Amino acid sequence: MQDNADLLALVRTIPDFPKPGIQFRDITTLIHNGWGLRTAIDRMATASAPYQPTLVAGIEARGFIFGAGIAHQLGLGFVPVRKSKKLPGAVIGIDYELEYGVDRLEIHNDVLGPDDRVLIIDDLIATGGTATATVNLIRMAGAKVSAACFLVDLPDLGGTDRLRAQEVPVETLLVFEGH
Ligand SMILES: O=P(O)(O)OC[C@H]1O[C@H](OP(=O)(O)OP(=O)(O)O)[C@H](O)[C@@H]1O
Ligand SMILES: Nc1ncnc2[nH]cnc12
């Protein structure tokens, strides 16, 4: 198994952001480092390729940073999963709960079909609310989820277990125990 301690050391923790009690795992320090950004994308692409995706879905906003790079690496197209009222065309959408709030995700309603095997990409999984909503959105659109890959996992918040219970293969690189 790959030792990702080198990448882990580039993630900064900021206590009490955006609310008291949240330990915010800040990936801006990792992406500021050229080696860190390239290596994170390379390793996420390598972990995801065996699931044979046909499209990459990146979740706004931090999922775009990694998702576009992974799509480039794998030679696949990219579907932006956006917060509400950002996409110009007809959309399908779903409401979801965050570790610290409520939000809504949307995709264009004509970008996925039954032959698509979609790889979900985000920077981080916490409660899994965002990723679970994305799985539901992709399945509502009639496509399959091939796998989901996250740079950071907060396993104590249960997100990866929640996704696996929906029969989604999950890959993560960096694990932070605790909340
Ligand atoms: O597993 P969950 O509990 O759902 O939390 C994880 C989500 O929260 C963060 O995004 P956020 O909604 O803060 O948006 P941003 O990427 O626009 O900052 C993160 O980038 C994930 O998308
Ligand atoms: N603890 C956390 N750190 C960074 N991003 C998050 N998104 C949800 N929870 C988070």
CA 170 – CA 149 distance, rounded (Å): 6
The length of the chain, given as a count of residues: 179
Share the mean pLDDT of the chain: 96
CATH topology of domain 5-175: Rossmann fold (3.40.50)
Q: Strands 55-59 and 91-98, how do they pair?
A: unpaired
> Of all protein residues, whose CA lies closest to atom 12 belonging to ligand 1?
98
Pocket of ligand 2 contains residue 47 by CB under 6 Å: no
CA proximity to 112, closest of 167, 59, 64, 54: 54
36-89 residue pLDDT tens: 999 999 999 999 999 999 999 999 999 999 999 999 999 999 999 999 999 999
- Predicted confidence band at 154 (pLDDT cuts at 50, 70, 90)? very high
CA 55 – CA 76 distance, rounded (Å): 5
Report CA(25)–ligand 2 centroid distance (Å): 6
In the annotation, is 12 catalytic?
no
Listed by start position, the domains of the chain span 5-175
Report CA(86)–ligand 1 centroid distance (Å): 17
Report CA(115)–ligand 2 centroid distance (Å): 33
Contact 10, 35 (CB under 8 A): no
26-45 residue pLDDT tens: 999 999 999 999 999 999 99
Contact 162, 168 (CB under 8 A): no
User: In this structure, what are the phi and psi dihedrals at residue 42, rounded to the nearest 5 degrees?
Assistant: -60, -45
Single-letter amino acid, residue 25? R
CA 135 – CA 94 distance, rounded (Å): 10
